[in-house]
Amino acid sequence: MKRPLVAIGLEIYALQLAFLQLGNGVRTDEAKYLLDIPYPHPPLARSIMGLTDGWMHHELFWRIVCATLLVQSVWFVMHIARRLSPWSRGSLLVAWLLSAAVVFQGGTVMMAPLTAVFGLVFVWLLLKERAPDPASAGLIALVWLASLFTAYQGILFAPLVWAVLHRSNQRLSVRLFLWTVPVVLLALYTLSNPLAAASMFIHAGKDALQLPVDRLTDTAFIAGIGGSIVLSIVGTIGLLWKPRAGLIISLLLVTAYVLLSRFEYYAILFTPLFIAGAFIVVSRFPVSKYLLLIGVPVATVVLCFLYPPVVEPSPVPSVLQELNERAVGEGIILIRGQFGHEWQHASWSPIRRYHSTLLEDAKAVICLEPCDEVAAQPKWAPLAEMPLSVWIRSAL
Amino acid sequence: MLSIVLPTYNEAANLPELLKRITAVLKQGSFEVIVVDDDSPDRTWEVAEKLVQQYAMLRVLRRVGRRGLSSAVTEGFAMAKGEVLIVMDADLQHEPQLITQLAKAIEDGADIAVASRYTEGGSVGEWVTGRRILSRVATFLARKVPPVEVSDPMSGFFALSKKAYDPIAARLQPTGFKILLEVLACLPHGTKTAEVPLQFKQRLSGESKLNLTVELQFIIQLLRILLRRLSMVLFFLVVILASVMLFPRVANLSPLYLDPAVRTQVQTTLERFAEMEGWLLSDVAVIAARTEYVEVEYRPHFRGKDPVTCHRLFHDRSRLTDCE
């Protein structure tokens, strides 16, 4: 009876995280996955998400699913730590559930938290008491393949996966095959979708001119978020204390990746590795559990105060809802100016970039930049009381 | 030396008689009996501890806070000193006479010897028809799943050489009641097996532990073993399927990677048409590249069903052409 109650408690927490994110509406990156837009990530998770995009509550549904996956994956931590004392075990559970990365990113529909869950599964396979059976190496390879086809960042855990396959005691040739083939398939997928690779290069080149010092401080900050500073420090000490190549090299890869691409949402990629390190420390020095039990929640609260989540409801859903009601009939919606994928996510009609030759096929025009050409034509009428300049076909 | 492991739960009434029978059978041999009790409410462990004074070869492990027949057996195996490990039920349904036959089979070179109800000369005794059918079905399913096949993989009475057990000990997942099935799932192909007929006896006292939870655990165990065995096949299937889907697409795009001139032309043409048609590049997927044209799939992403159209964009034309 105890386990179902814990699961229900965790689910309530997951729901809270999901609802916390709901206030901001869908962000451009989230819209990409929710609409199954094929850039930049491979298709596994996004194509499943895209199946429900015709459903009214699809955003809430996926926020809950993502938060649930992240929160309920604490059972893996519980299993790793099951031989520890209840308080030591509890400290690791608190460290996962209340790390700033989980609090900030639970409930977001992003690929980084899903990759972190895969990372935690690999950490579990590496640290759990019983080594994986050689016969189950195929399953490990399937999970590895699934993680790579969820997000490219899965590759950062490649050393960890190698260590897990090594632990399974399979023959070297089989291990090599199971480890390499998913990577080759990912490369093949990338070649089959050239614009994905192109978009990654464009994305990566955006802050190429940043100073190394800025990169280092940003990376340290992101790693700090990954474990609410306390778990980050304890975890790193643990990983260095009893070095395991799989964990250490994965940590180095994640760090190197964040140095190149400094987005705060990558903080969660550190968390499973820090949990592994913290497990090593708590197993050896049980007194360190108090540091995690008290330090992680306190640090998360402090971080929440210092960097409060910005709740800034976007005008996009209201504009497009109004448009759906007023601009009836078939036709495309044209948008002038720079815009994100959240516009597509809020729209029930195709959206294209504004071009004067397309006006004939359009049922509405949204002007994020001045569009004098539309204003000059009597067949277009502005929609009143809108936060943006929006035009629909005039009744005249 | 033989190590006989007796996993017990509420077997206080049966244990003294069982030990009497075992010692009667093995009086001249070198053996130990390990009782692993899951803190039985009828205090089986206490009865066993008292019996230690009478039987010097008896060892008792009382497990508090841990339950399950399979894990009790593996804990018993971990304590065992013998070269031959034997498991049997403590409810007197297993005839101790068979211990010597099982041990002999191991000494003769078998890695595992099973007392089978379904081999010639064996029987399930006086079970009711329903239980008889259920056991038959479960046995049929369980027989085919592990890599090592025996006629009665659900038997709770078997012997195993320590030499065969040690390499698999760390890999066993001892959940539920069917420890033999788990052992068979972990043993490698080519393991030498032997069987001796088992005539299942009626219980003298106590209650059967078979219930819905046990049946459910058995199904889960079976599925887990099946998944583990088929994991390589599954992986291969997924890899083949993905390759079949991806290779033709990559082949269609190969000029893009092999010829820089095609690459430049494709980029220019794509940008030109995207500008003209107001396409978002994220709605466009390049599906084929040639020296004269590029083929794209246009799928405007929005809520609801997205229409997908295929267009051939010629490098030297400014009009959209549908794919053939």
Same domain, yes or no, for A218 and A77? yes
**Do residues A210 and A251 make contact, with C-beta atoms less than 8 angstroms apart?**
no
pLDDT tens per residue, range B157-197: 999 999 999 988 888 887 777 889 999 988 888 899 999 99
* pLDDT for residue B144: 80
- Tell me if chain A has a CB within 8 Å of the CB of B65: no
Does residue A1 register a pLDDT over 60?
Answer: no
- Tell me if chain B has a CB within 8 Å of the CB of A341: yes
pLDDT tens per residue, range A60-75: 999 999 999 999 999 9
Number of neighbours of residue A47 by Cβ within 10 angstroms: 13
Question: Could you tell me if residue A283 is inside a domain?
Answer: yes
- A277-316 core/surface letters (b: 16 or more CB in 10 A; e: else): bbbbbbbeeeebbebbbebbbebbeebeeeeeeeeeebeb
State how beta strands B112-116 and B193-197 pair: parallel
Instruction: Tokens 């300049």: give the residue.
Output: A389
Q: Do A139 and B228 touch (CB under 8 A)?
A: yes
Question: Could you tell me if residue A157 is inside a domain?
Answer: yes
Lookup: tokens for A152: 């490219």
Domain stops at, among A306, A329, A349: A306
Same domain, yes or no, for A367 and A273? no
- Tell me if chain B has a CB within 8 Å of the CB of A57: no
* Residue type for position B120: E
pLDDT tens per residue, range A18-62: 999 988 889 999 999 999 999 889 999 999 999 999 999 999 999
Mutate: best of B67, B232, B240, B245, partner A, most A CBs <10 A: B232
Residues 12-51 of B with CB under 8 A from A: none
Which residue in B307, B319, B312 sits closest to B289, CA to CA?
B312
**Do residues B203 and B13 make contact, with C-beta atoms less than 8 angstroms apart?**
no
Residues in chain B: 324
* pLDDT for residue A48: 97
Which residue in B63, B56, B76 sits closest to B6, CA to CA?
B76
Cα angle: B98, vertex B102, B103; to 5 degrees: 115
Cα angle: A44, vertex A112, A294; to 5 degrees: 140
**Residue A380, CA distances (Å) to A49, A289, A339, B210 in order:** 36, 66, 22, 77
More confident residue, A164 or B213: A164
Domain stops at, among A285, A306, A327: A306
**Residue A180, CA distances (Å) to A142, A144, A152, A252 in order:** 12, 10, 15, 20
* pLDDT for residue A385: 82
DSSP element (H, E) containing B112: strand B112-116
Same domain, yes or no, for A336 and A275? no
Question: Could you tell me if residue A284 is inside a domain?
Answer: yes
For chain A, how many structural domains are there in total? 2
Number of A/B CB contacts below 8 angstroms equals 130
Does residue B105 register a pLDDT over 90?
Answer: yes
Does residue A197 register a pLDDT over 70?
Answer: yes
- Tell me if chain A has a CB within 8 Å of the CB of B137: no
pLDDT tens per residue, range B233-288: 999 999 999 999 999 999 999 999 999 999 999 999 999 999 999 999 999 999 99
Does residue A336 register a pLDDT over 90?
Answer: yes
Same domain, yes or no, for A164 and A82? yes
DSSP element (H, E) containing B37: strand B31-37
Instruction: Tokens 């996009």: give the residue.
Output: A316
pLDDT tens per residue, range B120-144: 887 766 667 777 787 778 788 788 8
Q: Do B300 and A351 touch (CB under 8 A)?
A: yes
Same domain, yes or no, for A244 and A284? yes
Q: Which residues pair with B86 in a beta bridge?
A: B4, B159
- Tell me if chain A has a CB within 8 Å of the CB of B170: yes
Same domain, yes or no, for A90 and A168? yes
Lookup: tokens for B246: 């991806």
pLDDT tens per residue, range A258-295: 998 888 999 999 999 999 999 999 999 999 999 999 99
Same domain, yes or no, for A284 and A384? no
**Residue A253, CA distances (Å) to A153, A160, B198 in order:** 10, 11, 59
Query: B129-144 and B212-258 are packed helices; what angle lies between their axes, rounded to 10 degrees?
Result: 30
Spell out the alpha helix ranges (H) of chain A: 2-22, 28-34, 44-50, 58-72, 74-80, 86-97, 100-105, 111-127, 137-148, 158-167, 172-192, 194-204, 212-226, 230-241, 245-260, 271-284, 288-306, 316-326, 342-346, 372-375
Same domain, yes or no, for A194 and A54? yes
User: Can you tell me the distance from the alpha carbon of A377 to that of B64, in angstroms, rounded to the nearest whole number?
Assistant: 85
- CB under 8 Å to A148, separation ≥6 — which residues? A42, A154, A155, A182, A183, A185, A186
Residues 103-162 of A with CB under 8 A from B: 130-131, 133-139, 141-142, 145
| Three-state DSSP class for residue A352 | strand
DSSP element (H, E) containing B3: strand B2-8
* pLDDT for residue A99: 97
Question: Could you tell me if residue A160 is inside a domain?
Answer: yes
Lookup: tokens for A377: 């034509």
Lookup: tokens for B283: 């709605």
**Do residues B209 and B93 make contact, with C-beta atoms less than 8 angstroms apart?**
no
In chain A, the residue whose alpha carbon lies closest to the alpha carbon of B276 is A355
pLDDT tens per residue, range A75-132: 999 999 998 999 999 999 999 999 999 999 999 999 999 999 999 999 999 999 888 8
- CB under 8 Å to B85, separation ≥6 — which residues? B3, B5, B77, B159, B160, B161, B162, B165
Q: Which residues pair with B115 in a beta bridge?
A: B196
Which residue in B63, B70, B65, B59 sits closest to B32, CA to CA?
B59
Q: Which residues pair with B7 in a beta bridge?
A: B36
User: Can you tell me the distance from the alpha carbon of A62 to that of A14, in angstroms, rounded to the nearest whole number?
Assistant: 12
Domain that residue A338 falls in: 316-393
- Tell me if chain B has a CB within 8 Å of the CB of A192: yes
Let me know if B166 is exposed, middle or buried by CB neighbors in 10 A (0-12, 13-18, 19+): exposed
Lookup: tokens for B227: 């998944």
User: Can you tell me the distance from the alpha carbon of A201 to that of A184, in angstroms, rounded to the nearest whole number?
Assistant: 20
* pLDDT for residue A206: 64
Lookup: tokens for A115: 């990759």
Q: Do B228 and A135 touch (CB under 8 A)?
A: yes
**Do residues B286 and B271 make contact, with C-beta atoms less than 8 angstroms apart?**
no
Question: Could you tell me if residue A335 is inside a domain?
Answer: yes
**Do residues A120 and A18 make contact, with C-beta atoms less than 8 angstroms apart?**
no
Same domain, yes or no, for A251 and A364? no
DSSP element (H, E) containing B310: strand B309-314
* pLDDT for residue B85: 95
Fill in the DSSP letter of residue B123.
Answer: B
Question: Could you tell me if residue A311 is inside a domain?
Answer: no
Residues from chain B contacting residue A316 (CB–CB below 8 Å): none
Q: Cis ω on the peptide bond leading into residue A86 (within 30° of 0)?
A: no
Closest-CA distance, A187 to chain B, in angstroms, reads 10
Mean residue pLDDT across chain A:
92
Mutate: best of B148, B184, B236, B239, partner A, most A CBs <10 A: B239
Domain stops at, among A277, A306, A335: A306
- CB under 8 Å to A108, separation ≥6 — which residues? A21, A27, A30, A63, A66, A265
**Residue A90, CA distances (Å) to A78, A119, A125, A232, A294 in order:** 8, 20, 20, 17, 11
Question: Could you tell me if residue A204 is inside a domain?
Answer: yes
pTM of the entire predicted model: 0.84
Same domain, yes or no, for A323 and A297? no
In chain A, the residue whose alpha carbon lies closest to the alpha carbon of B241 is A185
Same domain, yes or no, for A106 and A221? yes
Same domain, yes or no, for A300 and A210? yes
- A159-169 core/surface letters (b: 16 or more CB in 10 A; e: else): bbbbbbbbbbe
Which of A37, A145, A353 has the CB atom closest to B301's CB atom?
A37
Question: Could you tell me if residue A226 is inside a domain?
Answer: yes
